[in-house]
């Protein structure tokens, strides 16, 4: 591990100023991803600015019926929060589907969003990876890529990257139209969560649109007047990344889809909001046929790799099953 200076400033503003002055520094939240990447030699910050106790650990009500989640709220606490379980079950379910009890106790809300998009080539410094070492190539493209992306990858050139974002929580928040509150050297700004994470494009080294020194302080969830749920498919029953996951909310009236939110995990470099499927579904009968047609509309853009084409029908089926479950709940 590279040597680093450890700083624990008194408040969020000081932490932003400290990091802005340290171009190779990093914020430290729960450390469940960053410390691991430092041990592997993948992350090499020369300054760590500990923000775990600098942002709010509270969940507060918003006037519109939504919630504001402090960036420092541990994942375990957020999953157990009664208002989250009641109003946003998809978020509690997504959190509980991720990681282990130990990791959820330590990981923070802000840190969960900022865990790296990654794969086994990224975390192995002896292998080529454009995300870790720009221009070195993508080992996964022709290598082991059974659980890699099927949507939005960069498949040629120096930006080639087929890794997936592993967060479950973020998939739920993308479906919920969350808004990320950020404090930076130039003050505060808000980012719709769908604009926080990036596709690899020509620069897979950047996972998000945050600028250096910007600190996530809170996440706002707007009120949701629909039942919601999360379904995750994985290789083993617990403590494994998604093969495919679906976060969905559905409003059905008189057998017709009035509103729908749909996001997919395990399929792309970022949590994937399924806007094509949502558009295809609004106003349609709430039937298995229209759910399948909507999933097909989204997955028409899929560009699976040699060994992960099975993810396309799996994603379709998980979308259909999740919407059917929600349809029954709303009837």
**Interaction between residue 244 and another protein (CB under 8 A):** no
Query: Closest by alpha carbon to 147, among 173, 165, 129?
Result: 165
> How many beta carbons lie within 10 A of that of residue 220, not counting itself?
18
Rounded distance, CA 312 to CA 196, Å?
25
**Interaction between residue 44 and another protein (CB under 8 A):** no
**Given 237, 254, 300, 331, the residue binding another protein (CB under 8 A):** 237
Minimum CB–partner distance for residue 138 and another protein (Å) = 23
Minimum CB–partner distance for residue 175 and another protein (Å) = 18
Minimum CB–partner distance for residue 97 and another protein (Å) = 5
**Interaction between residue 12 and another protein (CB under 8 A):** no
Q: How, if at all, do strands 256-265 and 272-273 pair?
A: antiparallel
Q: How, if at all, do strands 228-233 and 244-253 pair?
A: antiparallel
Binding part of the chain for another protein, among 188-196, 208-216, 234-242, 248-256 by CB under 8 A, reads 234-242
The partner residues of 285 in beta bridges, in order of sequence, read 256
Which tokens belong to 68? Answer: 């504001």
Site string for another protein, 92-131 (x = CB under 8 A): xx--xx-xxxxx-xx-------------------------
**Interaction between residue 205 and another protein (CB under 8 A):** no
Give the CA-trace dihedral at 210, 212, 216, 222, to 10 degrees. Answer: -20
Contacts of 312 (CB under 8 A, 6+ apart): 150, 299, 302, 304
Binding part of the chain for another protein, among 14-22, 74-82, 268-276, 308-316 by CB under 8 A, reads 74-82
Which tokens belong to 133? Answer: 């070492």
Binding part of the chain for another protein, among 17-25, 31-39, 201-209, 272-280 by CB under 8 A, reads 31-39
Contacts of 36 (CB under 8 A, 6+ apart): none
**Distances in Å between the alpha carbon of 282 and those of 217, 248, 294?**
34, 14, 10
**Given 16, 22, 49, 52, the residue binding another protein (CB under 8 A):** 52
Residue closer to another protein, measured from CB, 1 or 24: 1
Query: Is 66 strand, coil or helix?
Result: coil
Q: Angle 33-239-55 (CA atoms, 0-180°, nearest 5)?
A: 40
**Interaction between residue 49 and another protein (CB under 8 A):** no
Q: How, if at all, do strands 47-50 and 67-70 pair?
A: unpaired
**Interaction between residue 321 and another protein (CB under 8 A):** no
**Interaction between residue 274 and another protein (CB under 8 A):** no
Query: Closest by alpha carbon to 57, among 34, 74, 79, 37?
Result: 74
Residue closer to another protein, measured from CB, 14 or 287: 14
**Given 11, 23, 39, 307, the residue binding another protein (CB under 8 A):** 39
**Interaction between residue 85 and another protein (CB under 8 A):** yes
Residue closer to another protein, measured from CB, 79 or 323: 79
**Distances in Å between the alpha carbon of 140 and those of 153, 238, 284, 305?**
12, 25, 39, 10
Binding part of the chain for another protein, among 48-56, 134-142, 261-269, 278-286 by CB under 8 A, reads 48-56
- Which residues in this chain contact another protein in the complex, by CB under 8 A? 1, 3-6, 8, 28, 31-32, 35-36, 38-40, 48, 50, 52, 76, 79-80, 85, 92-93, 96-97, 99-103, 105-106, 237-239
């Amino acid at each position: 591990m590279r040597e680093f200076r450890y700083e624990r400033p008194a408040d969020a503003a000081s932490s932003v100023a400290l990091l802005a002055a340290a171009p190779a520094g990093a914020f430290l939240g729960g450390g469940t991803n960053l410390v691991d990447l430092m041990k592997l030699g993948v992350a090499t910050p020369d300054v760590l600015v500990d923000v775990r106790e600098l942002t709010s650990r509270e969940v507060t009500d918003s006037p519109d019926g939504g919630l504001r989640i402090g960036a420092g709220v541990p994942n375990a606490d957020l999953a157990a929060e009664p208002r989250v379980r009641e109003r946003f079950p998809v978020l509690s379910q997504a959190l509980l589907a991720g990681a282990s009890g130990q990791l959820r106790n330590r990981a923070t809300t802000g840190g969960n969003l900022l865990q790296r998009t990654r794969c086994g080539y990224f975390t192995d410094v002896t292998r080529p990876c454009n995300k870790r070492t720009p221009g070195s190539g993508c080992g996964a493209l022709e290598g082991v890529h059974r659980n890699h992306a099927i949507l939005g990858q960069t498949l040629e050139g120096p930006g080639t990257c087929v890794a997936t974002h592993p967060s479950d929580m973020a998939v739920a928040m993308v479906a919920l139209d969350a808004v990320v509150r950020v404090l930076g050297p130039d003050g505060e700004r808000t980012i719709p969560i769908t604009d926080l994470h990036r596709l690899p494009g020509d620069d897979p080294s950047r996972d998000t649109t945050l600028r250096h020194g910007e600190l996530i302080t809170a996440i706002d969830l707007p009120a949701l007047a629909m039942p919601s749920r999360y379904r995750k498919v994985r290789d083993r029953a617990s403590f494994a990344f998604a093969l495919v996951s679906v976060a969905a909310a559905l409003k059905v009236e008189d057998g017709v889809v009035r509103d729908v939110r749909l996001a997919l995990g395990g399929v792309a470099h970022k949590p994937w909001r399924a806007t094509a499927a949502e558009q295809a579904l609004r106003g349609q009968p709430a039937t298995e046929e229209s759910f399948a047609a909507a999933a097909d509309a989204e997955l028409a853009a899929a560009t699976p790799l040699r060994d992960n084409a099975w993810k396309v029908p799996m994603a379709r089926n998980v979308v259909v099953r999740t919407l059917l479950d929600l349809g029954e709940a709303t009837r």
